[in-house]
A and B are shown apart, each in its own frame.
Chain A
Amino acid sequence: MTAIDESPATKLTVQEQEWVDRFMDDTTLFLGPDPEIMRDHSIAPRSDLEEIVLAEGVDRMQVERIRKRIAGALDEGYEMCEAQGAAPGAKWGDLTTAIYTAAGDVAYLSCHGVIAFSAILHHPIRYINKYWKNEPTVGVNPGDGFIHNDARFGNVHNTDQSMIMPIMRDGEIIAWVAATIHEGENGACEPGGMPSGSETPFDDGLRMSPFKIVEAGHLRRDLLTFLQHSVRDPKLQLADLKVKITAVRKIMERIDKVIDEVGVDTFVGALRTTVEDVDVEVRRRIGELPDGTYRFDQFMDSTLKENILIKIACKVTVKGDSMVVDLRGTGPEILNRAINSPLCSVKSMMMQAILAFWWPDLPRCTSAMSCIEIISDEGTWADASYDAPMGQSLQASFRGFSAFQALYSRMSFSTPHKYSNVVANWYNQINTFLWGGITQHGDMVGNLCADLNGMPGGAKPFRDGEDAVSPLFCAMADTAEQEVMEEEVPFMQLVSKRLVRDNMGFGKFNGGMGYEMIVAAEGTAQWGFMTVTSGSKFSSIYGMYGGYGCGAYPLAMVKGTNVYEHIRQDNKKFDLSIEKVMNERPFEDGRYMTYHMGLQFDIAKDGELYMISQGAGGGYGDPLERLPESVVKDAELGRITQHVAESIFAVRYDPEELPARCRGHAAGPSGGPPGALAAGQAVRRVLRRVRHHGAAEGPSLLRVVG
């Protein structure tokens, strides 16, 4: 959109300006997202009450006691959502509960859950304050609750639905409590709420700006019906609305008790003190980092429909206690593809890096990023405009996380006091199956497998990363019990958690490994799968300090055959892996194919195989520094092939010796594994020498292996 400045030549009088303002207010056609609110991630100025209370001084012990009780209440609310939530996301912990100041700043977040929400939910609350509080047809009253999901109004992405309720005293809002759950299904053009196939913003599903769905304690049936009518899973929509309302009310009950005990002023003072404490501490911590500029560029290989190359740029400048993040140089938005993200969602994932990996000891507040300046061009795919589809905005926002994770290691490496360990890049794609259709019970559903939570990561300067440990956005999220899911959906994971050999970010310390998933549907009137990730041609994460990143991940399919029939006839065929199925082609009548990981909803006939793998965490340090005994152990466990041991780690061993060690034979003379390593070490020395001798030949050096 082009704005043309036609400011009047003459200045309006105060009276005239009032008339103009009133006219504009009375005749506003549509209240869309407010750029003033949406561009701003900083904490609000003190309210009059906060000013008065803080001027009088707060009792620090009292503040701490209040914080602890709030934390307890929020954790209880969190557990209620996790235990009772109907959405798969809720069951695995993809949710959060939080308390906000009257202006909407997050003052405290539940211990578990998705920290990213602490950078995001102030937007809808500011919107409610600005537009609905004094709007005669809406208003904010005790017992009211607002629902919201559209990321254009401030959200991680549109699958997440919030229930936001005010805490009020004497007609004034003194705080807000909210619960947010990754609900998944939202009526988008594909099931599961994050379509890779959306081509307009209207394909992204529900577009809930913040609106009041609970009025004076009552869930409005008319609006509920409208929402249920707009999604594939009306049961889910109702169940989880109730769950969130109940959880928020429970939290408010406990907080009401705190307020009754300490009084409104002390309570409001405690919230604001927490927010301001974190702001001060963040500035101090930035001051500890060496001044300089730090850059991390990432490249994405997919629109989720076709292969492309597009950049996401991130340059951080530290000077004293100021930090400026510059995203300029990031590629343009693509107005008919789903990969675009609003800037607020990218910021939320930067916050995820800050609070989970930079400074995990800080209370989760809006203020943890408040003082960091972020420069970005609107109309890029990490700062998408209103008209851009954003069904798979995670493609941009998760790379915001990766940039912050990678850069902090460089910024903080020299600092004598660290708040966390240096960590190589976490895997940053949600490699999992989204699914939808008609279940064996006749219900229409749409959602996804929890395997997206099996992201590997965590290689550090002193230890390997962990396999399939947790998603980057939620440390405590679970990969769930597939067998439980199978009670409710008409497909099985024929292979559920099998590590893919050599699927590893190699390094002195390896990143964690990812596992493969093979699914096939059966006994359903209609069913389909989709996948929504990039990184099939260009690795989606990189290594650290000489370590390597992850590989590239295919979607493999066998169509035109029913493997269940094959397995029923010959159960020896039930030994599946992507490698085995695709290379050996055991089902004669099948059509074997690979595809990138942006599969739009694809109808799955009975027994057709869909096969994907989780990625790998980035490796830390030069692989040639990896201890030979660690390399041999990886080979022994089947984590790497002998070929990788030699070609990447330059360790040669006698494979015949490995089973001997398994049977408990004594170690070789060096204390390492028996026999093999003398040769390996010689190879490693040769490698070093080749590198060294190459020096004279100029800047391009061939590293000859083996």
Chain B
Amino acid sequence: MRVPMTEYLVIDLDTERWTCRVCSQDIGDAHDSYKKGTLVYDRDPREIHQPIIDPNRYEYTFSPDPTYCRILEYYCPGCGTQIETDYLPPGHPPTIDMLIDVAALRAQWEKSGLDAEEVFNYGPGDDAQKYTAHHKATGHIR
């Protein structure tokens, strides 16, 4: 069974692997950080948050300072989907944001008797139901 763990990642309980939710690419050992199996780009934040006032004249421009802040972009090696971003000081190691107890996850789902992907949802609210149904119909969300 595949359990959706983030927007772009599932844990496959049969193989105990992180797997891309978009293209089913194998990402890595589910007992470890998924980030090790991604492609990483060390992005200059000025390329994303571009200056709004003239960077040649002013120190503070709406762009983060690249000597303070870098954006690590993590891509699925299969489809190139940007799975996650980290805002970190230059040289700071990636944040290990999730370490999942896979055995406990399996036990939890076995006990529930449910299929994790089948029952997956984005939560309550008329709002959620309306938009989710619409985007699902067009294939915009999973």
**Contact between A691 and B68 (Cβ–Cβ < 8 Å)?**
no
Which residue of the partner chain, among B68, B83, B86, B112, contacts A301 with CB atoms under 8 Å? B68
Q: Which residues of B contact A542 (CB under 8 A)?
A: 85-87
**Contact between B62 and A551 (Cβ–Cβ < 8 Å)?**
yes
Closest to A407 in B: B97
**Contact between B63 and A552 (Cβ–Cβ < 8 Å)?**
yes
Give the number of chain A interface residues (Cβ < 8 Å): 84
Q: Is the C-beta of A591 less than 8 angstroms from some C-beta in chain B?
A: no
CB proximity to B under 8 Å, residues A535-579: 536-539, 542-556, 578-579
Q: Which residues of A contact B7 (CB under 8 A)?
A: 413, 461, 544-546, 620-621
**Contact between A291 and B121 (Cβ–Cβ < 8 Å)?**
no
How many of chain B's residues touch chain A, expressed as a range?
35 or more
Which residue of the partner chain, among A299, A307, A691, contacts B75 with CB atoms under 8 Å? A691
**Contact between B69 and A299 (Cβ–Cβ < 8 Å)?**
yes
Which residue of the partner chain, among B65, B85, B132, B135, contacts A546 with CB atoms under 8 Å? B85
Q: Is the C-beta of A703 less than 8 angstroms from some C-beta in chain B?
A: yes
- Chain A CB within 10 Å, residue with most, of B52, B59, B88: B52
CB proximity to A under 8 Å, residues B1-55: 3-8, 39-42, 45, 47-50, 52-54
Q: Nearest-CB distance from B28 to chain A (Å)?
A: 12
**Contact between A460 and B122 (Cβ–Cβ < 8 Å)?**
yes
Q: Nearest-CB distance from A525 to chain B (Å)?
A: 31
Q: Is the C-beta of A595 less than 8 angstroms from some C-beta in chain B?
A: yes
Closest to B134 in A: A462
CB proximity to B under 8 Å, residues A410-459: 410, 413-414, 416, 418-422
**Contact between A545 and B60 (Cβ–Cβ < 8 Å)?**
no
Q: Is the C-beta of A688 less than 8 angstroms from some C-beta in chain B?
A: yes
Which residue of the partner chain, among A418, A579, A695, contacts B52 with CB atoms under 8 Å? A579
The stretch among A35-43, A469-477, A498-506 that forms the contact with chain B is A498-506
Closest to B118 in A: A416
Q: Nearest-CB distance from A366 to chain B (Å)?
A: 25
Which residue of the partner chain, among A414, A627, A691, contacts B5 with CB atoms under 8 Å? A414
**Contact between B84 and A545 (Cβ–Cβ < 8 Å)?**
yes
Alpha-carbon separation in the docked complex, A593 to B62 (Å): 14
**Contact between B97 and A422 (Cβ–Cβ < 8 Å)?**
no
Q: Is the C-beta of A295 less than 8 angstroms from some C-beta in chain B?
A: yes
Q: Which residues of A contact B100 (CB under 8 A)?
A: 290-292
Alpha-carbon separation in the docked complex, A502 to B62 (Å): 10
What are 11 inter-chain pairs, A to B, with CB distance below 8 A? Answer: A290-B3, A290-B108, A301-B65, A419-B123, A420-B123, A462-B131, A545-B8, A546-B8, A578-B52, A594-B61, A691-B39
A-to-B contact residues, CB < 8 Å: 290-297, 299, 301, 307, 309, 319, 410, 413-414, 416, 418-422, 460-463, 500-503, 506, 536-539, 542-556, 578-579, 582-583, 592-596, 613, 620-625, 627, 643-644, 647-648, 687-692, 694-695, 699-703
